[in-house]
């Protein structure tokens, strides 16, 4: 955990976050590809560090599709994003709680997560992953300060992040390969869309069944 915290500081200090931008995707693609058989490992480790260091994940998600194609891109991105979210959670819970609490200070609304989790558990993770109430990277750390179990957090986060992961990597992979079967691309995008819509309706259903969403949205 101490090493992870040190790596966060290194990423921020060296300004590596500035390289992870949409306009640099071609450059990043060449750099990752140059690692040959080690490219997947380098990509996953880099993605995890990016998530932990508050670097926007969308460019890296698209990069996964560009480098590895729709199938393996989805696998690598899903693994990396979930591991990154879990590592942030563990850092907040066990290694740097005081530091994370200072990070949370400018966002008093995040304090509602703790109270809501105490009442509604994993459903709050589902809601905040599907509804952009709070920044994704901050959520990862915020949940580490709550009472939610690690297993429930990890599984719910993975499931609720998966539809967007599929959609973005499939789209980027299709652009990269060009000759990839268009019907297969549309099928996977359609399935991802259906799953995303289904998951996005869950908060509304939950709101009708409980006060979970109200606990997050109400003032105070």
Q: Is the pLDDT of residue 44 over 60?
A: yes
Q: Which two tokens stand for residue 146?
A: 């709550």
pLDDT for the residue numbered 220: 42
Structural domain spans, the chain: 2-217
Q: Each residue of 87-104: pLDDT tens digit?
A: 999 988 887 777 777 766
Q: Is the pLDDT of residue 191 over 70?
A: no
pLDDT for the residue numbered 219: 39
Of the pLDDT bands very low, low, confident and very high (cuts 50, 70, 90), residue 4 is: low
pTM value > 0.85: no
Mean pLDDT confidence for 149-178: 83
- Whether the CA torsion 42, 47, 52, 56 is positive or negative: it is positive
Of the pLDDT bands very low, low, confident and very high (cuts 50, 70, 90), residue 179 is: very low
Q: Which two tokens stand for residue 50?
A: 């990016």
CA neighbor of 103 nearest in space, from 78, 130, 73, 134: 134
Distance CA(42)–CA(83), nearest Å, equals 14
Mean pLDDT confidence for 153-172: 87
Mean pLDDT confidence for 59-87: 92
pLDDT for the residue numbered 213: 54
Q: What is the mean pLDDT of the chain?
A: 76
Question: What burial class does residue 201 get, using C-beta atoms within 10 Å of its C-beta: 0-12 exposed, 13-18 middle, 19+ buried?
Answer: exposed
Residue 78 DSSP label: H
Mean pLDDT confidence for 25-36: 88
Please state which of the ranges 8-22, 75-89, 160-174 shows the lowest mean pLDDT: 8-22
pLDDT for the residue numbered 13: 53
pLDDT for the residue numbered 200: 57
Q: Is the pLDDT of residue 28 over 80?
A: yes
Mean pLDDT confidence for 27-43: 92
């Amino acid at each position: 955990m101490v090493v992870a915290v040190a790596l966060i500081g290194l990423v921020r200090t060296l300004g590596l976050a500035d390289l992870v931008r949409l306009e640099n995707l071609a450059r990043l693609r060449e750099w990752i590809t140059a690692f040959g058989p080690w490219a997947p490992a380098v990509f996953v480790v880099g993605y995890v560090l990016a998530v932990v260091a508050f670097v926007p994940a969308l460019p890296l998600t698209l990069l996964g599709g560009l480098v590895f194609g729709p199938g393996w891109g989805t696998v690598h991105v899903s693994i990396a994003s979930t591991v990154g979210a879990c590592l942030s959670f563990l850092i907040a819970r066990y290694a740097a709680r005081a530091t994370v609490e200072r990070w949370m200070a400018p966002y008093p609304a995040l304090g509602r997560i703790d109270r809501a989790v105490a009442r509604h558990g994993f459903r709050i993770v589902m809601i905040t992953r599907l509804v952009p109430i709070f920044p994704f990277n901050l959520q990862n750390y915020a949940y580490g300060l709550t009472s939610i179990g690690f297993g429930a957090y990890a599984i719910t986060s993975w499931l609720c992040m998966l539809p967007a992961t599929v959609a973005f990597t499939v789209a980027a992979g299709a652009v990269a390969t060009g000759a990839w079967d268009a019907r297969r691309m549309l099928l996977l995008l359609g399935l991802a869309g259906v799953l995303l819509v289904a998951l996005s309706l869950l908060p509304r259903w939950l709101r009708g069944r409980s006060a979970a969403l109200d606990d997050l949205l109400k003032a105070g």
